[in-house]
Amino acid sequence: MSYNGSGTFQINTAGQPVITGTVISSTAFNALTADLATGLSTAITKDGQTATTARIPFAAGISSTLVTDSSSVSTGSIITAGGVGIAKAVYVGTSANIGTSATIGTTLTVTGSSTFTGAIAVDSVTDSSSTTTGSIQTDGGLGVAKAAYIGTTLNVAGLASFTATSAVLLAKGTTGQRPSPTSGMLRFNTTTTEFEGYNGTAWSSVGGAALSNDTSTATNVFPLFANATTGTASTLFTGNAFLLYKPSTGELQARVPVASNGIVVNSQSVATSYTIATGYSGTSAGPITIASGQSVTVSSGSRWVVL
């Protein structure tokens, strides 16, 4: 063996060293040259004529003075037909082009742009609750040219700006598909065909109060008036205590009823029993018929005048 197990080249000792004044033995000389040829044949040539037959350990690393950029797997300063295993951090000075997959054991630091011709898959399943948590973190902005799909919750700490000229598509579903509510939720209800939001207590219509056919409320409520007769009303008005409505009785109270057309109209039939309360009086333009089984009760001190 020309090289021992430590990689040290060993000279054939037969007939060596040559002694001054003696004839050099052809056997010894030929053995020496054959040993040198064997040693040189197993050495790496700098012009690339030979290929290594085993992994070569480099205790001080590998340096290449070639500054050629790589645009494929067959260009650049270092070319390998197989994969590359890197136990420590990788530093890329400019662009990093990855044709298939790249597995990084620790840290990948890239000062320039990185172009991935395929998809990027991250196996970490850590949720993000801030800008410094989660599977992917960036100190700068994130530009996405195509659709972005979020599997669970999208948290936006700042302003959410939608610059498209089309529309914002909200979550939608039936009443039975409402999620576990949190104050501030907004969705479209396909059962009621209305936008709705959760106010912290209940789901309510967005863009106006929910309508209710109320005939049981015994307290006065305020009728509302809109500032538009078509389209969208931007303002609603109430008459405060000057105009009140009681759903349980159907009574409408006004401070001063004004018949702008000069006519006040009443039905000629009392279809439902009614009591004129103490402190009030009533008038009707007759003739008046009281329906079967119904009655009009006039409280003490009150009057009902039929004209």
Residue type, 134: G
pLDDT given for residue 47 in this prediction = 87
pLDDT given for residue 28 in this prediction = 83
Q: What's the pTM value of the predicted model, to 2 decimals?
A: 0.47
> Is the C-alpha dihedral spanning 166, 169, 175, 180 positive or negative?
negative
**DSSP-derived 3-state class of residue 110:** strand
Tokens standing for 113?
Answer: 């742009």
Say which residues have a Cβ less than 8 Å from residue 197's Cβ, sequence separation at least 6: 184, 185, 186, 187, 203, 204, 206
> 30 burial class (0-12, 13-18, 19+ CB within 10 angstroms)?
exposed
What string of pLDDT tens digits covers the 307 residues of the chain? 577 777 888 777 777 788 888 888 888 888 888 888 888 888 888 888 888 888 888 888 888 888 888 888 888 888 888 888 888 888 888 777 777 777 777 777 777 777 777 788 888 888 888 888 988 888 888 888 889 898 888 888 889 898 889 999 999 999 999 999 999 999 999 998 888 999 999 898 887 666 677 888 899 888 888 888 877 677 788 888 899 999 898 889 998 999 999 999 999 999 999 999 999 999 999 999 999 999 999 999 999 999 9
- Distance in angstroms (rounded) separating the CA atoms of residues 160 and 140: 16
**DSSP-derived 3-state class of residue 241:** helix
**DSSP-derived 3-state class of residue 205:** strand
Rg (CA), the chain: 47
Domain chopping of the chain, boundaries: 1-56, 172-205, 213-256, 258-307
pLDDT given for residue 84 in this prediction = 83
pLDDT given for residue 180 in this prediction = 94
pLDDT given for residue 200 in this prediction = 93
**Secondary element (H or E) of residue 30:** helix 26-41
pLDDT given for residue 1 in this prediction = 54
- Distance in angstroms (rounded) separating the CA atoms of residues 245 and 254: 9
> 196 burial class (0-12, 13-18, 19+ CB within 10 angstroms)?
buried
pLDDT given for residue 208 in this prediction = 62
Determine the straight-line distance between the first and last CA of the chain, rounded to whole angstroms: 138
Strand partners, 289: 269
**What phi and psi values does residue 55 have, to the nearest 5 degrees?**
-65, 135
Task: Compute the residue count for the chain.
Answer: 307
Strand partners, 107: none
- Distance in angstroms (rounded) separating the CA atoms of residues 57 and 172: 62
Give per-residue burial for 229-260: e unless 16+ CB within 10 Å, then b. Answer: eeeeeeeeeeeeeebbbebeeeeeeeeeeeee
In 3D space, the residue among 152, 154, 203 whose CA is nearest the CA of residue 177 turns out to be 203
pLDDT given for residue 190 in this prediction = 93
